[in-house]
Chains A and B, each alone.
Chain A
Amino acid sequence: MVEADRSSAAETDEVVSTAPVKVDVRNLTISYSGKTALRDVTLDIRQNEIFGIIGPANSGKTSFLRALNRMDLFIPGMKVDGSIVLDGREVRKWRNVYALRRRIGVVFPLPVGLPMSVYDNVALAPRLAGIKKRARLDPIVERCLQRAALWDEVKDRLDSLGSLLSGGQQQRLTIARALSQEPDLLLLDEFSIAVDPVTTMRIEEVLKELKQELTIVLVTNLVQQARRLADRTAFFLTGELVEVAATSALFSGEVNDERTRAYVEGRFG
């Protein structure tokens, strides 16, 4: 593994600082067709933490997530510089990006139920990974739907179209699908935009449990959501990392930058 406890964020929090580093990001710069979207970001994400990223629109949060699973390869014009080390390995040197992506679950702002049955939605990733037998797929599908708090609502209609579920259900389906990859890193991009508050709370509970097994990066523009869930939080502003600190510190006013204070207190953004 990596030498845990790199000093970069060691000043932040005693509780999480002992956890080994899961993702080590150094001097990350992202641009689209020459236009910089994210500039020189250095931070690390620890094992089994929920790492929050807050920031107003256009601050480069989604771009950051895309760089983690090498989506830049599939997005015309997107260029990534700097280094991202996942479990001690530079993601750009990964022998096979598809294997890398299978380890990283992604949930988008808008729910995407694929136009196939609920069952097939969740079974897709295992099938791509070569699991074909129904007997092996069934338990995976059930477990993932259960963990995403959707099983009870869909267990009687696994054959109906995933794209025709309600928005909140589709978002939990998306989470189930991400879990079916058995990821050890879960990236959530403003997952609650299209979801009602009750469902949001249920998903948040799920995330707190999932934290035991995997590492979560939670991009959110609900500052309070970061406060509720994240162990540490980074504040991005127009393509810059303003600061990263323990969430409790950020919200109790122990900030290094006045812009952070203004943002978490809702005075701009």
Chain B
Amino acid sequence: MFEASDLNIHNQRAEKLWRLLFLMMTLLLILPVLIILGVLIHKGGPMISIDFLFTEPKDGMTAGGIFPALVGTVWLVAVALLASVPVGVAAALYLSEYAPDNWLTRAINLAIINLAGVPSIVHALFGVGAFVLFFRFGTSILAASLTLAVMTLPVVIVATRESLQAVPQAFREACWNMGATRWQTIRKVVLPNSVSGILTGIILEVSRTAGETAPIMFTGAAFFLPFLPQSVFDQTMAMSLHLFVISTQVPGVPEALPFGVALVLITMVLVMNAVSIAFRMVLRSKKKW
């Protein structure tokens, strides 16, 4: 009565086959990541030292360290975050909590999606036109960071909106019915239950800007500048541009040097991601509903 039919057996076999196929595809996906990391560590690992991290480049950038570029990248990312997070979070709050569902809102959402798809070199040209020339910031950290900020704004908005929308609508309605205004509801219920999600989302998305080259190339990042920036109106070196320069523009660079720079750059990004993922895991374990 309950013996497996031929069809059952066939289905079971097929099931195993599909599973195997999908597993292999997944493993295939990890492969490039592993190879990249392996090569970087193998070739660039020996370069890494305290000296390498904390001294200036020397001999026409064929020797020495990367300190100004490292500091520059931190500046650029930090100022970009400072500019994009408040604007992005405010926009996401408006779109998710206040905006009526009409053509204007839909148009804005569409614009955000499209903005996320604009190539970074186009953002670079916009940055030159808007921040370097029109607002007369010159080529400076400010101009470069604002360009990065404009570029990351869509992902900040999307990440924030997703966290906000993860808060159940029933919570909002409960508050509204008690006579809370929208802002009171946001303050008491929506934000406390999404702020950590917003932060992790933003870190995860924005850590990518550390590696961007095009948007900062014409707006504030310098080819070679062995001093630390004193204010946002200075130019600065940056890891990504530095890597580009010593890989393609400067003769006589020892082979290991670019790999060392790349390794530091990718480590910065991975550390930010790891922090964000750890944060997210802690959050999940303390879920409140």
Q: Does A158 count as interface, using CB distance less than 8 angstroms?
A: no
Bound Cα distance A98, B174 (Å): 13
Q: Is the CB of B178 within 8 A of A125?
A: yes
Among the stretches A19-27, A69-77, A146-154, the one at the interface with B is A69-77
Bound Cα distance A240, B58 (Å): 85
Closest approach, in angstroms, between the C-beta of B23 and any C-beta of chain A?
Answer: 37
Q: Does A197 count as interface, using CB distance less than 8 angstroms?
A: no
Bound Cα distance A69, B179 (Å): 9
Q: Is the CB of A71 within 8 A of B171?
A: no
Q: Does B39 count as interface, using CB distance less than 8 angstroms?
A: no
Q: Does A210 count as interface, using CB distance less than 8 angstroms?
A: no
Closest residue on chain B to residue A100 by CB atoms: B179
Q: Does B96 count as interface, using CB distance less than 8 angstroms?
A: no
Contact with A along B165-179 (1 / 0, CB 8 A): 000001101111111
Contact with B along A149-188 (1 / 0, CB 8 A): 0000000000001011000000000100110010000000
Bound Cα distance A98, B178 (Å): 8
Bound Cα distance A69, B178 (Å): 10
Q: Which residues in window 266-288 of B have CB below 8 A to A?
A: 288
Known: A108-B170, A108-B173, A128-B184. Is A115-B288 also a contact (CB below 8 A)? yes
Q: Is the CB of B288 within 8 A of A163?
A: yes
Known: A112-B171, A128-B184, A161-B288. Is A76-B101 also a contact (CB below 8 A)? yes
Closest approach, in angstroms, between the C-beta of A166 and any C-beta of chain B?
Answer: 14
For B100, list chain A residues within 8 Å (CB).
Answer: 76
Closest approach, in angstroms, between the C-beta of B109 and any C-beta of chain A?
Answer: 15
For A106, list chain B residues within 8 Å (CB).
Answer: 177-178
Q: Is the CB of A99 within 8 A of B179?
A: yes
Q: Is the CB of B179 within 8 A of A128?
A: yes
Closest residue on chain B to residue A66 by CB atoms: B177
Q: Is the CB of A112 within 8 A of B288?
A: no
Q: Is the CB of B179 within 8 A of A181?
A: yes
Closest residue on chain A to residue B170 by CB atoms: A112
For B179, list chain A residues within 8 Å (CB).
Answer: 98-102, 125, 128-129, 181
Name the one of B101, B171, B178, B188 contacting A101, with C-beta atoms under 8 angstroms: B178
Q: Which residues in window 202-237 of A have CB below 8 A to B?
A: none
Contact with B along A29-66 (1 / 0, CB 8 A): 00000000000000000000000000000000000000
Q: Which residues in window 97-125 of A have CB below 8 A to B?
A: 98-102, 104, 106, 108, 110, 112-116, 124-125
Closest residue on chain A to residue B288 by CB atoms: A115
Bound Cα distance A181, B177 (Å): 10
For B178, list chain A residues within 8 Å (CB).
Answer: 101-102, 106, 124-125, 128, 177-178, 181
Q: Is the CB of B170 within 8 A of A71?
A: no
Known: A108-B170, A115-B288, A163-B288. Is A71-B177 also a contact (CB below 8 A)? yes
Q: Number of B residues contacting the other chain (C-beta, 8 Å)?
A: 21
For B180, list chain A residues within 8 Å (CB).
Answer: 98, 124, 128
Closest residue on chain B to residue A125 by CB atoms: B178
For A110, list chain B residues within 8 Å (CB).
Answer: 170
**Which of B176, B182, B184, B189 lies at the interface centre, i.e. has the most chain A CB atoms within 10 A of its CB?**
B176
Closest approach, in angstroms, between the C-beta of A102 and any C-beta of chain B?
Answer: 4
Q: Is the CB of B176 within 8 A of A114?
A: no
For A178, list chain B residues within 8 Å (CB).
Answer: 178
For A100, list chain B residues within 8 Å (CB).
Answer: 179
For A116, list chain B residues within 8 Å (CB).
Answer: 188-189, 192
Q: Is the CB of B184 within 8 A of A71?
A: no
Name the one of B101, B171, B177 contacting A115, with C-beta atoms under 8 angstroms: B171
Closest residue on chain B to residue A177 by CB atoms: B178
Bound Cα distance A125, B101 (Å): 29
For B192, list chain A residues within 8 Å (CB).
Answer: 115-116
For A101, list chain B residues within 8 Å (CB).
Answer: 176-179
Closest approach, in angstroms, between the C-beta of A73 and any C-beta of chain B?
Answer: 9
Q: Is the CB of B171 within 8 A of A114?
A: yes
Closest residue on chain B to residue A99 by CB atoms: B179
Closest residue on chain A to residue B188 by CB atoms: A124
For B207, list chain A residues within 8 Å (CB).
Answer: none
Bound Cα distance A98, B181 (Å): 7
Known: A128-B184, A161-B288, A163-B288. Is A108-B174 also a contact (CB below 8 A)? yes
For B174, list chain A residues within 8 Å (CB).
Answer: 108, 112, 114, 174, 177
Chain A: residues with CB nearer than 8 A to chain B? 69, 71, 74, 76, 98-102, 104, 106, 108, 110, 112-116, 124-125, 128-129, 161, 163-164, 174, 177-178, 181
Chain B: residues with CB nearer than 8 A to chain A? 100-101, 170-171, 173-182, 184, 188-189, 192-193, 288-289
7 residue pairs bridging A and B, Cβ less than 8 Å apart: A71-B173, A98-B181, A102-B179, A112-B173, A116-B188, A124-B188, A128-B180
